[in-house]
Structure formats: structure tokens, C-alpha cells
Structure 1
Amino acid sequence: MYAMMPPLPSAAMSLLDPFGFGRAACDYWGDALERGTLYLDVMRQRGNQYLEHIEKTKPNVLGFEAEVLLDGRDLPRPVNYELLRILPPEGVETDPNSRPFVVIDPRAGHGPGIGGFKSDSEVGVALRAGHPCYFIGFLPYPVPGQKVEDVVEAEIAFLRHVIACHPEASEKPMVVGNCQAGWQIMMAAALEPDIFGPILIAGAPLSYWAGERGRAPMRYTGGLVGGSWITALLGDLGAGLFDGAWLVQNFESLNPANTWWDKQYRLYANIDSEAGRYLEFERWWGGHVALGADEIQYIVDNLFIGNRLSTAQLVTSDGRRIDLRNLRSPVVVFCSRGDDITPPPQALGWVQDLYEDTEAIVANEQTIVYCVHDSTGHLGIFVSGSVSRREHTEFTANMDYIDVLPPGLYETTVTPAETHSDAELIERDYLLEFQRREVEDLDREVQHRPDDERRFATVARLSEINLGLYRLCWQPWVQALATPESARWMRRMHPNRLGYRLLSDRNPLMGAVPVLADRVRRGRQPVDDDNVFRALEGVMSTSISQSLEAWRIYRNGLIEQGFLTFYGQPVLQALVGLGGDTQALRRRPGDEPEHRRFVEQRRRTARDRIAEGGEHEAVMRSVIYVLGGAPASDERNFKRLRASRAELEPGIQLADFKHLVREQFFILKQDREAALEAIPTLLAGQSAKQIDAHLEHIDHVLAASGELSERASARLERVRGLFNAAKPKRAAGSRSRRSGPSTERDG
């Protein structure tokens, strides 16, 4: 080994190598050899870690201790899911009467645990905030015959159990669904809306045809292979199981520069410091799981290609329609422009699919909040420590506020507290602010194109044709030839799995690697960063990465252009039944006459209730009116709004308080002038002292956000006038009796 060779005298080196290039080259190649040996040893450790992980009965990568409360295999409709209670680490206390948090991990090729991967994670944030925390994970293999609908019913059962564990908690559980778990939990909430508190879906695709041209090439995958018949083929070859490694391979192909070079070179270049982080992540990334063939076929046919979730076309086996407009819990959508797996159009497009305008959202009493990160990738949305410390911390801290937000569409931004002039009113390092938005404002993110929609509708029709032909002509033969043993060998020989096995201790050729690596570590001599050859290595690495990135851009362009050209042919569209019929593309629930009649009925009901109620309705109507004129709303208002809940009516349940806020908001939305003029009527019977107390309370609420804008101040003055007008007038007789003695003295 180079590190064990005696160095030449410096004088001799100066004569032989006056410019130092030879010495720099020797140092570099010695360091490169050492790094190569250590890199190979990390690959060996990765392989051993992979084998140890997949051989566990219940593998996960949770960074917290947990206990199993319910096993999904014991349910009436058994599934391979389980409900775990997270045990708080030492020094962390949780309040059993606080709102429970339930985190659900994605089952999209990888094993469970990424939502609680480390201390700065969704689970860690909830625990530090004092909330009891639960986790819904899964086992590596599905129960035979398990279906997506069974999983949804299991998650409903788990949530009911969590509620039963906290009978004294006044709020329903907050549910966090990551990626694939996001659309799954939205299906569950549409079926059983009454058991859900606020829902946070992070990086979850719900509108699968949506996307920006030039980005998100994964949405073209179904069209490239002619539909879902390839999914059925892989499920049949797997003897009823679909290997999740195929999904992981699709993810990796999106970024060849990172998959084939950057990730591995980062480890090689920083082998002395990067090994621990690399192995920690690979324990999850390489933990492939299997899905049932029926499960993945349902997902591909109805979601990825059919796009039936966001258009209310899914129906359960017992006839219940899965309509996301049934949700009554606030929905927080967290996505990122740097996410190439679930870009913002796919995370937010469902809102435009379901609602024509914001008034329809309000009529359905839905609160939808979205936050678009500028740069983090798909995994960073629910794994990155910086994201957890900022966005997830703010979401968790403000869930009670989000839970009582009036219906509507909001965009959130997270800003440092020190940037605000009244930073002393902010409890944490960041402030979560809410901006009202209209459905039309989503055009910037969703970028809907009717011509692209026609192409994806063509893919869906062609997929049905090809799947039918496969099932008729080839499926019986494939199923007859496939056996459980052949399926097991096919999984073992998948490139993504085989790479781990070959570089492990089970390969006899790796036997010398740990010995050499141990010797290198004892005599390690890393080269200086200013070594010219180390610098050239970095330049070469950058060149390779840029070349692969250029190839990605070129490949994606070819894929997109090929897709648009092929599926844009009028003849093909006519052959699959889409010739000129724009209504045949897909169902748009928001455009249907029944929904328009529902919205109009809600408007009439709100107008009829303008003068109904009392002082509580008057105060809440006034607060909403004044805050509605402000450019943004944030947690500082909620601190006072929460106090108003206790002051208005001690002991009022959160559900009743939410109803009060939402009803008054909707009334103001329908006829603001009539709603304001009715305030004196609502205050009838109140004494002047009581009305003054109400005004003082309104001032108290509004002061939480600092100084009011000019427009909000003008609205507050109007409210004062309305409240003063409601004060009872003194009787004429009492006025004369009080003024009588004064008159006599004057005389």
C-alpha cells in the first residue's frame, strides 16, 4: 500500500520534480487508491445491510421506538398494514389530551419509516410539540387477495382506534400522508370525513394528467408502453406479486446524473465523512417491498392512467362514490417545484378538477391550503431536516389555526420572524402566513392544457384496449408458466436488488475488502484539497454529471415530443372514440348541473340566515369582515381568535366553533352589505356595557397582528358604528327626570 512506502528525501524530490507535479501525482494516486478501497468497503457494508434488512419479518427505518397497537392482518378484511404508537424519546413529553398525530408512509417500492427517519422528521416535529404520535406502516409482502379498498378501510379502522385511545382529546387527529399515502388517505377521508382532523398531504399526486411541458416526464410513462398491460404482465410473471423495485427503477431513471454518478461520486470524494449518511439513506432506499398484482393494477388503471380520483369516478365495491368534495377537514397540500416525481401541477390540479371557482369551495365548506417550496426534491419534502425544521414545524404548530380557517383557498408562505417589525408577537423562529387565493390563481402552477388532456384521454382508451387484448390472448399462458419459485428468482435477479447482493459478504470475491479497508483506515493519508490532480478530478466529475444531465434533457425532449405527436393524431383519437367529442375526455364534477344547483341552494340558505343568531354571530362576523380586508392572515390572529372561543362561550366545542366561523364567512361572502347591516339586529337585547365588551374583545383579537392596514382600520371603524348603533336608547322620561333638577337650579 502506498501509505506504507518510505518517502523520498525532500532534496532529491526537488531535483527530480522542481514544479512538484510528480509529488502531487503520487499523493493523488495514493489517495485515490485508498478512497477506492474504502468506497468498495462501504458498498460491501451496504450489501450486508440490505440483506439483513430484507430478511427481517417487519423491517422499517423508524428512528424512534414504537409498539404495535393493531395488526391489519387481524382485521375482517386483512391487509399487511399495522398501527404503531411512537414512544417519545427520553426528555420528550407528550400530552395525551392533545391532538394526536398520525403519519402514514408511502408504499411505492420502498419500505416504511421515512416519515420518522430521524429526529428532524414529521414524527420528530410532532413529538417535540407535545402531541401523541402514531405511525401506520406495512410489511414487505401483501396479504393474498389484498386490494386498495381494503387498505383504505384498514386506515379508517386504525384512525378510529387512535381516537378511542384519546377520549379526552377535544380535537380529531391530524393525519399526514406522504406521497402515495397522500392519495390513499384522501380516499379514506372522502368515505369517512367525520373521523379526520386536518390532513397534510406531502408530495402526493392526485391529478395525474396534469403537468408542465418540458418537465415531469413520468406522466408520459403509461403512454410510452401502450398502457397498463405491462403492469399486468409483470404481476403475472411475479405469480400475483408486483416487485416494488420496478417502481424504484422508474424513479431512478428520472435523474441519471444523480443515479449513475453524483450520488456515488459524492461518497467516493468524501469517503472519510460521507459513509454514515450514505448507509443510513440506503437502508431505506434499498428496502424494496412487493405489492399485490391487483393493487398495482387498480392504481395504474384508475389513477396513473385513468385519472379517476380527482374527478369523482371511483366507486367502492359496496357502491359508495369516492368524491373528494365530501371532505370536511382542512387539507394542506405541500409540494415543490424541484420535485420531478410529484410536481405542483399533479399535487394541486385536483382543486381545478373539482371546483369551477372559489365560491364552490366555500359552498362545500372546504378549506384548502397549499404551500409550494421552491427547490427541494421529492424526498426532501418529507425527509429533509431543513424542511422539517421550517415548513413541517410551522404546519404542526398552526394546525389548530388551520382547523378553524374559514372555507376557501389559501396559499401559505414561511418567513423568518426577524423580518417582521412586530417579531415579539411571534413565538418561533418563523411565521406561517396565509394569503387568500382564487381557483384561477392555480393556473400559474397547474398550467392546464385541453389539448394535452385529449392526449391523455386517448392513452386511457388505448390502455383499456391493449389490456383487454393481453388478458384475452396472453395472460392465460403467462399465468400458467409463472410459479412462485420463478417469481422469487425474478425478484432476486432484478438489477436493483442484484447490485446489493453482489457487493456483500455473500460474494466470496469480496472477502479481502474488509481487511484492506481496515489497513487503509489505520494509515490513511488524505490528499490536500489544493492538489492539482484532485482539482482535475472534480472538474472531470462535473463534466460527467453535466453530460448525463444533457442526456436527460435530450431524452426527456424526445419522450415528450414523441408522446405529443403520437397521441395527438386525430385519426388515433377518433379510433379510440374521442373524435371531436370534448365532453368524452373526462368527467368534471364542478361543471355538472347537480353541483351548480347545490351551490345555488347553499347561497339561498346563507342569505336566509343573515339575520339569524345573536352576539356570537355578530362578533365573529365583524372579526372576519375586518380580517378579510387585510392582505394576509397568520398565527398571531389565531392566538386571539382562540381566546375569543373561550370568551364568547366557555366550553364551546371546536366543531361548533368551526361551524360558527365558516357559516359567518359564507354569509359575508354571499351578501356583505346585508350581513353587516344585520349586525344591530343580532345584538338586539344586549346592554351598552355588553356591547362595549364585545368591541373591546374585537380590538383584542385584531391587535394580535400588529398595526392594521388603512383598509382594515376603515372596516373596524364601520364595525364600531354598527355596534354603537345597536346600543339601547335611553327612554325620554328618564332623560327628563335626570335633567329636571339641573333646570331648576339654573332657574
Structure 2
Amino acid sequence: MSIPSNGQNKDEVSFQYNPFGPAFDYAVDAAQRSLLFWDVMRQRGNQYRAHVAKTAPHVLSYTPEILIDGRTLERPVNYALVRIVPPEGVKVDQTRRPFVVVDPRAGHGPGIGGFKADSEIGVALRAGHPCYFIGFLPDPAPGQTIEDIARAEAVFLEKVIALHPDADAKPCVVGNCQAGWAVMMLAALRPELFGSIIIAGSPLSYWAGVHGKYPMRYSGGLLGGSWLTALTSDLGQGKFDGAWLVQNFENQNPANTYWTKQYNLYSKIDTEAPRYLGFEEWWGGHVNLNAEEIQFIVDELFIGNNLAAGRIKTSDGFTIDLRDIRSPIVVFCSRGDNITPPQQALDWILDLYDDVDDIRSHGQTIVYTIHEDIGHLGIFVSAGVARKEHGEFAGNIDLIDALPPGLYEAIFEPKTNETAGVNLVDGDWIMRCEARTLDDIRALGGNDAADDRRFAAAARVSEINLALYRTFVQPWVRELLPNGFGEWLSKLHPLRLQYELLSDANPMMAPIADLATQAAEERRPIPSDNPFLALEQTMSRQIVAGLDAWQGWVEAVSEATFLSVYGSPVLQAAAGIDPADETAQRRAGKTGLHRRMLQSRKAELKGRIDEGGLRECLARGLLYVSMARGGADERGFAAIRRLRRVEDGMPQMSLGEFKSLIRDQFLMLLIDEEATLAAIPKLLPADPDLRRKGLAALETIVKARGELPEEATQRWQEITRLFQLNGDPSTKPTKPPEQAKAPHVKVVRR
């Protein structure tokens, strides 16, 4: 080897003249990364031990202030309501609706909704909303049930409402994953407690899906039903270990579980440790459920699919019907979610309603958005998702609340300097809600009648197997197990052992800390063009590809087995499933009461068509023009606030009053569009200045998104014609009169 010259440094000369240099450098780097990796594993184990030793462990990055401890209620539960103390520099407006985030209790501990600054709680605080959080303790209260939890959460919401008597609306409640269906159940039981609902990654139609993708829905049938759930609870001596739920999640992605997650840490060991440890604190914080709770979840929801079908009853005989919900519902799901694919998140709409008019007849507003690729956990923990989707929901919740009844899809577009009405937009995105029909949901794919019969057969087999287990096996299991067996079984769970064995509790891990410290001091990361590093990355990709192929094979076999076994005419006949039944097994029933109430409501609205003033006329004009566009966006709503202040000498409308105004006028247009429009001239004030002022404000609103398309332009010309008074030239349309008097345009229902 020669002496370095010509400005070359020692490393460059070593690489140039020593053919073993890259191999040696890689060996040193790999050894250092390995020591640092195992030290992070040691830290993870210590973190786990410290976390589970806490009385109320959580991963909130905000300061919580306990308001109600659910253990003190008449029916004690292990849930609690806390107020989120706004961080320094964050101002909240006590007149704005509060946000209440409910975390999922699906094996993990609470806090994921406020895991970091860019989170559901974080974006709501930055939007100026007071924030509350509903979390839980690791162990359930003795005897608590899902119904007890729902009633406790009702008490929590009553407390939040009482704390904000001047708020412009009832709370917006955010339910993540498992908490989503729990929130929906409560909203059906107590609709008066909710201002709006956001359910993120929440499965509501458990049988739904498409062939060849995300076969987790087959698990209950492949295991023979919920008898195994009952056995696991009995082995836990009345408690179901949430670690089993977490393991089910991990089994859905073996490549990530067994390789990618660890290799990502190893390959980025100099920067990745804080993020990895932060997530693992939540992922490893396993919690327990009562046997009654998990049995209800599996029987009624996962296997029975009874929630959307309206077949769940409370202890006092009340049937839970999601059509009783009166708050706008926002559904956030993703095509990349293998736990709750879009069909499971959205097909409950098909289970409940015949068409969009049926949704409207129930006074319901449903807004959904589908992310293209984010995974299940990313819906709750991704900073990018929090800043975009959750940030837009929090910033535009008033817009969602004021939408006329119907089905909408939320679309997000980046804001640019060329965006029309850019001064009306806060943040980096523009949210618009476009009208949709049930055919848009069906286009995502889903079950046919044959699939539903298979799942119905699986549900019936589950009932039979559970009855057999409870009759012949359960008494022996409960009698033979010694005291404390369930606790020891929990400690020996493989997911818990991996934390315990790689912590300081294991004497063999003692040297790792010192060796890692030395490795960090002598750290020599290699350049990205090292050929051995490229080989390592290639091997990693091959391992992932192999695990993905194995997963694909297992999923294909699982699906084929389920379809074959439960598609058997013999099994279906034995289970009492009619093979000629073409009606969906999961459809919710209907009652004559709703039909009678609907007729009464229609008659009442028709009787009020000739009532009102300038506000009603402006609302009719706005809705009539907007129908041609099939939706609304935040620019229009930012401008629409002016509509609430347009009449001099009159008090400003509250958000609730404005919402009622928009809904009533929209329904009048649907019931009798011609009469509703024809009434405008006689409802307008006689003062031409007020008419002119109102029309100018309305024009600002309808054109906030830019120039109107052709059909909307024709509708706008008709509204300007209706606003004319005694030939006042300032209110005449800009187009020739014959164009302004074009034939009447009927409502377009998309």
C-alpha cells in the first residue's frame, strides 16, 4: 500500500488499493449495528417492564387530567374520561365543539390517538377544539360487559357536554378500530349525545370482503367458531389475554412481524431507535378483557355480523339500529388495511339502506374517504395521515355537520397558488365532499348471496360448537385448573416472553449495554455504495419475498378451505341455511313506523314551503345551484359563513340553526322542487337593497370554487331571475333574458 498523496485521504486509498477493504469495513459496521440492535432490544424489554408496572399505563404525549374514573360508577368499568391539557402555545376556543377521542381496546393499551404531536388529538387541538380522551386500565372490572362500557361512555359524554354549555355543537367523537363500532352502538342508543362521529379503521360489516384479498374474515369459520375464544377465557380463569389479539394481528403480515420490522431497525440503527421504541411501548402494552366481553365481540360481531343487521339487543330489550344515529358519520378506511378493508368499513351502508333516498329519509349524512395504501395502524399513528385526513376533518367538521343528508366521498386536493379561492383555505389541502350513490360502494367489491350463505353457515356452526363446548368441556376445564393458572399462562405468552427475555431481567443481557456503548463510541458506518451492503439489502428483499409468498399461499389455502367447507350444500342444509335464499343474510329489517314518520315529516315540510324570509331564499338558491355540482368543499363553507350574517338587525344563527335551515330547505327541494323555487319571490323582503345584498353574498358562496359549470350556471341564472324586484337592474342576470329564462332544470341525483 502506498502513502496517501494528491489530496487523497486514508480511507480513499484503502478502498482503492485494498480489495478486502469493503469487506472489512462491512464486517466492522455489521458487528457494531448488531450490538446496537440488541441493546435496543434490551431497552425495549426494560421499557416493557416499566410500562406494565404502572397502574394506568398509556402512551399519550399530552398531559391528561382525570375527570371521571369509571370504577366509581354504579356499574364499574375500567374506563376513564380525561381532559387533555393543551400544550404551551396552543389556544383552544371554549365555544367550539369539543373532540373526544376513544382508543381501541383490542389487545393494546390506550394512547395511540394522542401518540405524538401529529395525531388525532394534536390536529384537533391546533384547530382550536377542546379535547378529551377515553382510555382504560389493563384489567377489566369484575363482571363488566360491553353494554356497561357503552353506558359509562354515555356518562362521560354527558360530562363533556356539561363542561361546554356555550359550545356551537355537541362533541365530535372519534372512534379508532374497535372503538369505532362501540361508538356507533352508543350513538344508536343515545343519539342526542353526539354532534358528529369519525370512525377510523373500524370494521362494521364483518363478513364483507373480496375473494383473493385479506382473508382474516375467514378466521372464525376456519377455527370452528367461537368455542376456542371460550376455551382461552376459561384457561385465563375468566380473563381473555389481549396478547392473543395482538398475535392475530401479527399473523396477518409475517414478513413484517418476523423480518421487516427488525431489519428496518438494524439497517437504520443510528436513527431509528427512538421511533421504534416509542411504537413498541404501545404495541407491547397488552391488556385483558373479561370473558363476557370478548365472547360478545366474537359472537355478535366478528362471526355473527349482527350489528349492521340490527340483531343486537341490550339487556332491557332495546334493539341497536344504526339507522337511529342522527349525527353525521365520517368513515375513514384504506385499501392497504388488511385488518379492516374498505368493504368491512363501508358495506354496513348497503346492509342498512336501499339507496341514497333511503339514507336521506333517515336524515343521515355519511361521508367516507378511502386512502390508497396506508396500513391499519397507519390510519391512527401516521403523522402524514394526521396532518392531512385527520387535520382536514378537524378543521372542517362544521362543513361536514352542515351537509344535507346523503352519501358523500371526501376528496383531498393539494392547495396551490393557482387554487381558486385560495384565501378561503387554511392548511395545505382542500377537502371537498362529492355526492355518491350506493353503486359507488358496490363498485369496491363485496359478497354475493352465495358468500353470505357461507358466512351464515359458519355462524350457525359456531353456535353449535360453542353449545357443545359449554355443555361437555367447559365444566371440566374450570374445575381442574388450579388457582393462579391463568396468571402464569399470561406470563408465559410468547409475545410477553420476547420482552422479558431480552431485558435486564435476563442475566445474559448484562454485557450488551457496555458493548453497545463501546460500539457507539467507535461507530464506523459504511457508505451506501459498499457492495456488501447492497448484498445485504438484496438478501433482505429475498427474505421478504419468500415470507410474502408463504403468506400468499397460506391465505389462498385458507380461503379455498372456507369457501369449500361452508359452501357445501350438505353443511348448509344441516345448519338450516336455505340454499335458494337470495336475500342477503345480513340485511337489516324495516318497520312501518319509519314509513309513517317519514310521511308525517314530508307533509310537515310541504306545509312550510311558503314560510320564511331572506335566509330561507338564500339557502334554497345555494342548494339548488350546488346540486348541479353534486357536493361542497371547504371554500364554499368558508364563504357560507357570510350567509349566517347577511340580514341586518337580525341575530346571527348558531351552527345548529344553520344546519337545520340547510337540511329543511334541501328536503323541501327534494319533495317539491318546483313549488320550493316558485315560493322564493314572495318570501323575499320588499327592500331591493336587502335582495341585492343577499344575492351578492350568495354569488360569493356559489363561486368560491371558481367559475360554475354549464348546468350550475343555468341554475344560477334562474335564481337571479327569481330575486328580481320591479325590474331593478342591479339584480338582473348578466346573460340575455331569454337565456336566463331557460326551461326549468330538474334535480340531478348522482
Same fold (TM > 0.5):
yes
Name the CA shift for 1:669/1:316 in 2 (closer, same or farther; >3 Å): same
Look up the SS of the partner of 1:311 in the other structure: coil
Q: 1:39-84: per-residue Cα shift (whole Å, max 9, x none)?
A: 1111111001001101100000000111111100011111000011
Q: Which amino acid aligns with 1:407?
A: P
In the alignment, structure 1 residue 705 sits paired with structure 2 residue 697: no
Provide the rounded CA distance (Å) in 2 between the counterparts of 1:80 and 1:14. 62
Paired amino acid for 1:660:
L
Deviation of 1:595 (Å): 4.8
Matches within 5 A, 1:133-532: 133-418=131-416, 420-532=419-531
Matching of residues 581-660 of structure 1 within 5 Å:
582=581, 586-589=585-588, 595=594, 599=598, 602-648=601-647, 649-660=650-661
* Counterparts of 2:61 and 2:535, CA distance in 1: 39
Match of residue 49 from structure 1: 47
CA 1:243–1:8 in structure 2 vs 1: closer, same or farther (change >3 Å)? farther
Letter of the 2:288 partner, please give it.
A
Q: Which amino acid aligns with 1:406?
A: P
Equivalent residue letter for 2:307? L
Structure-1 separation of matches of 2:726 and 2:77: 61
Distance in 1, matches of 2:676 and 2:134, equals 46
Q: Which amino acid aligns with 2:199?
A: I
From the superposition, tell whether residues 377 and 16 of structure 1 become closer, same or farther in structure 2 (CA, over 3 Å): closer
**Compared with structure 1, are the counterparts of its residues 196 and 577 closer, same or farther at alpha carbon in structure 2 (3 Å cutoff)?**
same
**Alpha carbons of structure 1 residues 643 and 13: separation in structure 2 relative to 1, 3 Å:** closer
Q: 1:278 to 1:457 in 2, by over 3 A?
A: same
Q: Is the 1:256–1:552 Cα contact (8 Å) retained in structure 2?
A: yes
State the Cα distance separating 1:650 from its structure 2 match: 1.9
Match of 1:535 in 2: 534
Which of 78, 88, 91 in structure 1 is aligned with 2:89?
91
Partner of 2:551: 552
Change in CA separation of 1:40 and 1:20 when aligned onto 2, cut-off 3 Å: same
**Equivalent position amino acid for 1:710 in 2:** E
Q: Report what 2:691 is aligned to.
A: 691
RMSD in angstroms over aligned alpha carbons? 2.4
Q: What letter is aligned with 2:269?
A: I
Q: Provide the rounded CA distance (Å) in 2 between the counterparts of 1:726 and 1:108.
A: 67
- Following superposition, the deviation at residue 563 of structure 1 comes to 0.7
- Relative distance call for 1:555 and 1:726 in structure 2 (3 A) is farther
Instruction: Give yes or no for contact 1:589–1:595 (8 Å, CA) kept in 2.
Output: no
Q: Which one has a bigger Cα radius of gyration?
A: 1
Once the two structures are overlaid, the 10-residue window that deviates more, 578-587 or 19-28, is: 578-587
CA distance in 2, matches of 1:504, 1:194: 49
Structure 2 CA distance for aligned equivalents of residues 133 and 10 of structure 1 = 63
Deviation readout 1:375-424 (Å, 9 max, x if unpaired): 11111111100111111111111001111111110001111111624433
Q: CA deviation at 1:637?
A: 1.2
Tell me the CA shift for residue 326 of structure 1.
Answer: 1.0
Cα distance in 1 for partners of 2:65, 2:150 equals: 22
1:123 is aligned to 121
Q: Deviations over 1:449-485 (max 9, x none)?
A: 2211111111111111110000000011111123451
Q: In 1, Cα distance between the equivalents of 2:458 and 2:555?
A: 18
For 1:536 and 1:484, how far apart are their aligned partners in 2? 53
1:303 Cα deviation after fit? 0.5
| 1:555-610 alpha-carbon deviations (Å, 9 max, x no partner) | 11111111111111111111110123527863523666655565555445444443
Any stretches of 5+ residues in structure 2 without a counterpart? Answer: 729-750
Distance 1:480 1:199, change over 3 A: same
2:667 matched residue in structure 1: 666
C-alpha contact (below 8 Å) 1:416/1:431 kept by paired residues: yes
Distance 2:725 2:228 in 1: 72
When the two structures are superposed, what TM-score results if normalisation uses the length of structure 2?
Answer: 0.92
Instruction: Report if aligned partners of 2:92, 2:129 keep a CA contact under 8 Å in 1.
Output: yes
Distance 1:592 1:459 in 2: 28
Distance 2:523 2:358 in 1: 67
> Which residue of the partner structure matches residue 682 of structure 1?
683
Q: 1:322 to 1:38 in 2, by over 3 A?
A: same
Q: What is the total number of aligned residue pairs between the two structures?
A: 721
| 508-517 or 698-707, which deviates more | 698-707
Q: Secondary structure at the match of 2:444?
A: helix
Q: Is the 1:190–1:327 Cα contact (8 Å) retained in structure 2?
A: yes
Distance 1:47 1:616 in 2: 63
Distance 1:458 1:34 in 2: 56
**Offset at residue 723 of structure 1 (A):** 2.5
Aligned to 2:240, the other structure's residue is in SS state: strand
2:736 corresponds in structure 1 to none
Amino acid at match of 1:209: W
Look up the match of 1:742: none
- 1:129 Cα deviation from its structure 2 partner: 1.5
- Mapped partners of 2:376, 2:610: distance in 1: 49
Deviations 1:225-269 (A, max 9, x none): 011111011011101100000000010011111110011011111
Q: In 1, distance between residues paired with 2:681 and 2:726?
A: 5
Offset from partner CA, 1:94-125 (integer Å, 9 cap, x none): 12222111111000000000000000001111
Question: Equivalents in 2 of 1:222, 1:87: separation in Å?
Answer: 42
Q: Residue 110 of structure 1 contacts residue 285 of structure 1 at CA under 8 Å; is this kept in 2? A: yes
Alpha-carbon separation, structure 2, partners of 1:484 and 1:688:
85
